[in-house]
Amino acid sequence: MTASRPEILPDLLVPGLRLVFCGSAPGAVSAARGAYYAHPGNRFWSILHQAGLTPRRLAPAEYPSLLWLGIGLTDMAKHASGNDDQLPPDAYDPEGFAARIRAVRPLAVAFTAKAPAAAFLERRTSAISYGRVEGPADFPMLWVMPSTSGQASRFWDARPWMALGSWFQAKAAPHP
């Protein structure tokens, strides 16, 4: 990855976050609209509300307001967009992701699909389960969530999202 290529979507990262969501890369609709999880068929914003992570269902364009709730956003591929099978082989930047997370030190990171988790953990997707997973000792707590993409509907399971919501609600009040 070269720093000269522009990011598709800016990171939503500041020190003191309770939780950071990390996706693979923005899809075509998200890239075009300049907002995370903007495709109308994506479940991200509805499951955040259902799991108690947000007080109401937010619209994709409202993503910056997540900071006030102690939630951040990033992607494993910052300089490419599209479905996982459309990304160039060098799109993922696990080292850059790790550096960004270590700089802001959230309590936890939740991957919004197995592919970015596999890239970071250097494992096959088939070797990764949903829910809380073990990661590097010097890294925040890690979770892997079923993808909210409409294209991943056959793998949808809200239970890991609900477990993450319970963990999140049990933590101290957010501090922007």
Q: What is the pLDDT of residue 174?
A: 52
Q: At what angle do helices 114-121 and 94-104 cross, to 10 degrees?
A: 90
- DSSP secondary structure string, the chain? --TTSPPSS--B--TT-SEEEEES---HHHHHHTSTT-STT--HHHHHHHTTSSSSPPPGGGGGGGGGGTEEEEES-SS--S-GGGS-TT---HHHHHHHHHHH--SEEEESSHHHHHHHHT--GGG--SEEE---TTS-EEEE----SGGGGGG--SHHHHHHHHHHHHSPPP--
Predicted confidence band at 89 (pLDDT cuts at 50, 70, 90)?
confident
Q: How high is the mean pLDDT of the chain?
A: 92
Mention every residue, 6+ apart, whose C-beta is less than 8 A from residue 40.
29
Predicted confidence (pLDDT) per residue in 131-151, tens digit: 999 999 999 999 999 999 977
Confidence of residue 6 (pLDDT cuts 50, 70, 90): confident
Q: How confident is the model at residue 67 (pLDDT cuts 50, 70, 90)?
A: very high
The pLDDT value recorded for residue 172 is 59
Task: Using the predicted structure, report yes or no on whether residue 103 has a pLDDT greater than 50.
Answer: yes
Q: Is-contact 36 30, C-beta < 8 A?
A: yes
Is residue 1 scored above 80 in pLDDT? no
Domains of the chain: 24-170 (3.40.470.10)
